[in-house]
Structure formats: C-alpha cells, structure tokens
Structure 1
C-alpha cells in the first residue's frame, strides 16, 4: 500500500491536517481531550465524546409491570394502616414509577429530609426511603395530636429532633411492612429499616451512575401532607427481575397448567416398547457368522432368576417371566429405575 490515509477517509477527524504520504497520524493532548469529552474550550455544562455517553442522564427505561402492581396494592393497604396509626382521614396515591441514576436522584432530594436505609434480607441488598419535610411535620403533628388542617410551620436551619426521627421511623417501617406484604404475591421478602439519615452522603447504597427504580407516593392528611419515595437499585431487584417483567399477576414463565394437563394425557396414551433381556453371552464374530438354524445357545439364567427390563436401551428394573392367558408375560419385581446406577 502506497498511502495509508486512503483507507480511512470515512473516519477522518474534522479539518484533518495535510500530511505527506506515508506519514503517521498522531494525536496531541488536545485531540485526546476532545475525543473523550474533556475539551477545556467547551462550556462546563456541555459534554461530548465518550464522557457524554457514560454520564448521560438519558436512561432506557425498562418497564416493570409487576412493580406497578405491587405499588398499587401498597397504596390501598398503607392508607388503611396510616388511618389506624393517626386516626385521621388519610389518602395515599401513587404518582409515578420511573428509573433514574442513583447520583441524580440524591442530588434532587430537597433538604431538610429524612432518608431511611432499609435492607431486604432475602436479596441481601439495600434500598432507600426518602421523606420530604412537609410530610415529616404532618406526621409528627398527627401523631402528637396537632390541629387538623393548615400546613405545618417549617423551621429553616433546625435539625430534626429525636422524637421526630422516631415518629417518622415508625411510619417508614409501616410503609416497608406494607411494601413487603404487597411483594408476597411475587416473592416473600422481609424489609427492615436499619437507620435514618438526614444527609444523602450517609445514605449512599449504590454508585452514582447505578440505575434505580423509584416509586413516588403522595400522602394527604386533611390539608397537610407530602411525598415519600421508595428507591430500589436494579442490583437489589435483580433476583426477581424476571418476575417483575411479567405482564400480569400469576403469569408462569415456561409453565402452563393447560398444556401441562394436555401433555400428561398424551403421555399416558403413548405406546412404549419394552424389551426383556433373557440373558447375555459373549461370542466371537466368527462363531456368530457360523450360527445355523436350530442351534442352541446356553444362557446363565434359571427359570426363577429375575430378568432385566429395558426401554430404548435404558434399564428400568427387574422382572420375572411367566405365562398369563396363553401369553408370555412378565411381572415386575422392583420399582422402575431402582437397583440400577444412574
């Protein structure tokens, strides 16, 4: 080849430098930075190259129909539990279920807020429940006998007290119990609240770029209330991901009762050829070729010795040979496949 640049014309960088024939094309530091999206000339908000692909906020949302069913079921049960806890008229609704990067979600948490880190024992992984400040003050007012109606007064710059943390933790654990009960139709799980944090930095259970499913709920308590979110990283729900992808409750992947019954009926009507081995004898090929009609072969078997029963060359068991209704018959002496090595 006389010119190395002719074969790569379609992949040339913008405004390529004019180089002599046979000269090597090299990248300087500026070219490498531009390729990976670290060009200093670009604005900080703009990203390009491989860095833009890796840190993209656009997520291919994988719809989990069964997770939506679980959350809808939780809405009904959690509303009843909250009414029993606060003795107030409470309405709970599911706003949305979406997918987001863990780091982006934590950046959007409006402070002050409470973040409860819970563990799913069966999956050996963690999730996060975030409760905004308006719902925190509404729950504290309701549990401490505050006046109904009117928004709770928010005091900026004040940290949550121990009593407020304990009361909200009780509500969070109640929500996790109802969430676990709603999951029981898919797979029994146990969710326990481990700790409550007030800073997103201390509630980091996954990497910033990890994808997580977020369910947002709204609680209305006679003119007061707020929102809380249940975040489950995809790594946490991986053990039940195939079940969450089902389109309806009770869908069986790879198994259908109608076809199961049909196949069982057809199997019972299937004809099977069974061979009874009277005996085996090793002979030379020369003797086999010289066998004649009427020749007698002596087998090391007696009339009462058990015989092997084969099907397709596979040993099934032992049987005794006899006669029934003028026909040669066998009677099984052992159960199928017993007495034979697997």
Structure 2
C-alpha cells in the first residue's frame, strides 16, 4: 500500500543542523570557520575575531618626529662610521605585538629601552644584514657591494657592544626629535637575541612600528622602532595633532587679549541714595527748593549700580573734602538680598 503523504514529507535538515533546529558540532565548526582539513582561509566569526586588519587613529606628529630623526641619525652614523650614510623612512604602520615578534628575522638583535617620562618600554629590532654591516664598518672592513654572509651563529660580545653603540645613537636622536613636542628620555636597558625575552606587551596589544633603512655605500639594512600604544598613551593627544602647537578649544591669545581689554574698560558707577514713588502730576510741579523724602537715614547702606544692575551695598561718607562711598559687601553675582 503506497503512502499518500509521501509528497508532503519534511525536507532534510541542512548540513550541520539537527532536526529540532539546534546546531550539531559540524555546524558550530562551520560557524566559527573551523571545518578541519589543511590550512584554509578563515571565515565566520573566527575571521572577524582574528582579523589582521587594524583600524587605529593616526598619529601625524609621530611621522614628524621620525622625519626629524632620520636627518639627525644620518649625521650621527656618519660621525660613528666615517662612511657616507643615507637613512630613509620605509613606513609607519600599526600591528599587533604578537604578529610583530613572529615576523622578526633571526638572528637579530632586539634592544629594549625605557622612556622615563612615560614609565614604559619600547623595542628596536635590527636586521642581520644591518648588524653585520655596522660591525664590518666599525672594525675597518672593506666596502663591498655583496651581501654579508649570515652563518646563524650567536653574536659575540664585541658585536653586541658595537651594535649597542648604534642603538644608543638611535634613542638619543629619537629623544631629541621628540623634545619639541614632548619631553622623552630614552635609555637602552638591554639587548636580547631571542624574541621570547623581549616581551614588553601582550600578544594582542596594538603597537606603532616605524621601519627605517640605513644604506652605507652598498651595504646596510633595516631596523624597526616599536612603541606600544600603551607606552605612548600619556602623550597620545599630543602625537595626534595635525601640526605642531595645535590647541584644542579657544586660543589662549584671544583669551588674554579679551582679559586685557576688559580690564581697561571704563564704566559709570551710580550710588542710589533712595527711591520713592510719585505721580506724574507731582513731578510736573517740581520747583527749585522742593524737598524729596527718600526714607533713608545717613547711616543706612546704599545700593551701588552699574548700568542699572545692582552690584553691592556701600556706606556714604567723605574723603579729602569729597563725597565718597565705601563698599560694605562683596560684588554680588545675583540679586541683592
């Protein structure tokens, strides 16, 4: 006997979805972009959470600092090596600290420095090609256009000391370039050769990285200066200015000018001896010698007005043969009691 309800059979649930509408393990893995197998492009919520795209505010003044620094550092390196030095800024970018550490080409030297005013740390990483070029130049090696051979051995104490002199010049010139914007005293604390011992921030912390190239007559390489955003937080507002000396809010020059002009302004001060109400007919009949009764005694306080606005109370008297008043209350900011 055939089933007359075959045409009305419920459709099969989608892959990863159980019949009651709940997700099974396969559906959960697909939602988070983890579907197993070889390395595949990330999708779903996992792609959003682990996105490499970093959107962070620009720091225009930091670019100005590095532009000033490359000119000063080129002069310092020429004095150190007696070679023709050309320093250029490759790029300034934002990256997570963990991603930056994973991209360091080994063997490398990593300088850990401290900024005293900001009470935090930064890093300088030097590529192997620049390390061997600096060591070769300082030890009197011949200039050659070939790339230095990197043998992967550990750096000697002499090599670390010579590169440390270059790092100290970098920090000194960077601090001097930062001085017109904000004081920054940068001191090299130590030099590491393993990224594991140079962790100054969490893997997900955002950092500003400036990469600079040093050319030394056919030899040279790059080094990078890393400043975590947590390090530059005390001066983030200053580094975020579009030009040096930018002020937020009213300009100080106009405030000072307004204060000076207000202090020079002359106003007429009126002392009200008293008030009384009279009809218009009585005012019309005023004559010379008419006495007006104001209801005030000589020792009663009088109101002081400026432009019809009461400012305070005063006592009438005489000083140097002239009628004078002496304030008995402070200047009122509201109606007199």
Task: Give distance in 2, aligned partners of 1:194 and 1:314.
Answer: 64
In structure 1, the gaps of 5 or more residues are 1-12, 279-292, 302-306, 337-342
Question: Which deviates more, 263-272 or 324-333?
Answer: 324-333
Alignment of 1:109-258 (within 5 A): 109-151=104-146, 153-258=148-253
Q: Is the CA contact (8 Å cut-off) linking 2:130 and 2:222 kept in structure 1?
A: yes
Q: CA deviation at 1:174?
A: 1.0
- Which of 87, 92, 96 is 1:101 aligned to? 96
Q: Does 1:267 align with 2:262?
A: yes
CA deviations 1:67-106 (Å, max 9, x no partner) are 0100000011111111111122111111111111111111
Cα gap change, 1:17 to 1:106, in 2 (>3 Å): closer
How far apart in 2 are the matches of 1:142 and 1:308?
87
Aligned equivalent of 1:76: 71
Q: Structure 1 CA distance, aligned partners of 2:22 and 2:101? A: 42
Kindly provide the CA deviation profile for residues 119-178 of structure 1, in whole angstroms up to 9, marking residues without a partner as x.
111111111100011111111111112222334632422111011001101110110010
**Structure exhibiting the larger radius of gyration computed from Cα positions:** 2
Residue 27 of structure 1 deviates from its aligned partner by 3.4
For the pair 1:30 / 2:26, whether they are aligned, the reply is: yes
- Residues 285-326 of structure 1: per-residue CA shift (max 9 Å, x gap): xxxxxxxx765679799xxxxx999999999xx988644699
Secondary structure of 1:95's match? strand
- Cα distance change on mapping 1:124 and 1:320 into 2, 3 Å: farther
Contact 2:66 2:174 in 1 (8 A): yes
- TM-score, scaled to structure 2: 0.75
Distance change >3 Å, CA 41–CA 149, structure 1 → 2: closer
Contact 1:55 1:209 in 2 (8 A): no
- 1:85 counterpart SS class: helix
> 1:295 and 1:244, CA in 2 relative to 1: closer, same or farther beyond 3 A?
same
2-structure distance, mates of 1:99, 1:309: 64
| Distance in 2 (alpha carbons) for counterparts of 1:209 and 1:32 | 25
What is the match of residue 51 of structure 1? 46
Structure 2: segments with no counterpart, 5+ residues: 1-12, 274-292, 332-337
* 1:256 Cα deviation from its structure 2 partner: 2.1
Bigger drift between 326-335 and 213-222 goes to 326-335
Aligned residue for 2:71, secondary structure, equals helix
Pairs aligned (count):
299
Deviation digits for residues 32-83 of structure 1 (CA, Å, limit 9, x no counterpart): 333333x334653322233211211111253211101000000111111111
Partner SS state of residue 218, structure 1: strand
Contact preservation (8 Å) 1:138, 1:152 = no
- Mapped partners of 2:27, 2:303: distance in 1: 79
- With normalisation by structure 1, the TM-score equals 0.74
Task: Give the distance between the partners of 1:14 and 1:263, measured in 2 at CA.
Answer: 74
